[in-house]
Amino acid sequence: MSISMPLFDHQRNYKIKPNLQTLDKASAMAGHQHRLQKKNDTGAFFFFMATLVMWAVSVFFEILFNNRTELFPLLTGFCFYQLANWICRNFISRDPLLVNTCVSLLHSALTSASVVFILLNRLISNGWDELFEHSQLVKATWPWAYSALCISCGYFAYDQLDMLLYGLYSGWIPSILLHHFILLGCFTLALYRNVTINYLILTLICELHSIFLHVRKVRRMAGFRDSSSKFVKMEWFLNMVTFFLARLLSHLLITIKLVKDAAKFEKGVELPLALLGMAGMNLLNVFLGVDILKAFRRERNRNNRHES
Per-residue pLDDT of 242-284, as tens digits, reads 999 999 999 999 999 999 999 999 888 889 989 998 998 999 8
Rounded to whole angstroms, the Cα distance separating 85 from 244 reads: 30
Rounded to whole angstroms, the Cα distance separating 216 from 94 reads: 19
Q: What percentage of the chain reaches a pLDDT higher than 90?
A: 67
CB 239 within 8 A of CB 116: no
pLDDT of residue 29: 54
Helices (H), the chain: 20-36, 44-64, 72-91, 96-126, 134-138, 145-166, 175-193, 197-203, 207-221, 230-242, 250-260, 270-307
Residue 247 DSSP symbol: I
CA distances from 14 to 28, 141, 151, 207 (A): 29, 71, 56, 54
Rounded to whole angstroms, the Cα distance separating 75 from 49 reads: 18
Given a cut of 80, is residue 222 above it in pLDDT? yes
Smallest Cα–Cα separation from 118: which of 139, 147, 138?
Answer: 147
CB 214 within 8 A of CB 208: no
Find the angle CA(24)-CA(25)-CA(27) to the nearest 5 degrees.
Answer: 65
pTM, two decimals, is: 0.85
Rounded to whole angstroms, the Cα distance separating 241 from 288 reads: 14
Given a cut of 90, is residue 226 above it in pLDDT? no
With b meaning 16 or more CB within 10 Å and e meaning fewer, what string describes 196-225? bbbbbbbbbbbbbbbbbbbbbbeeeeeeee
Rounded to whole angstroms, the Cα distance separating 236 from 212 reads: 8
Given a cut of 60, is residue 218 above it in pLDDT? yes
Strand, coil or helix: 76: helix
CA distances from 255 to 10, 165, 274 (A): 70, 34, 9
Please provide the distance, in angstroms rounded to a whole number, between the alpha carbons at the two ends of the chain: 29
| Residue-wise pLDDT tens digits, 155-187 | 999 999 999 999 898 878 888 898 899 899 999
pLDDT of residue 241: 97
pLDDT of residue 16: 34
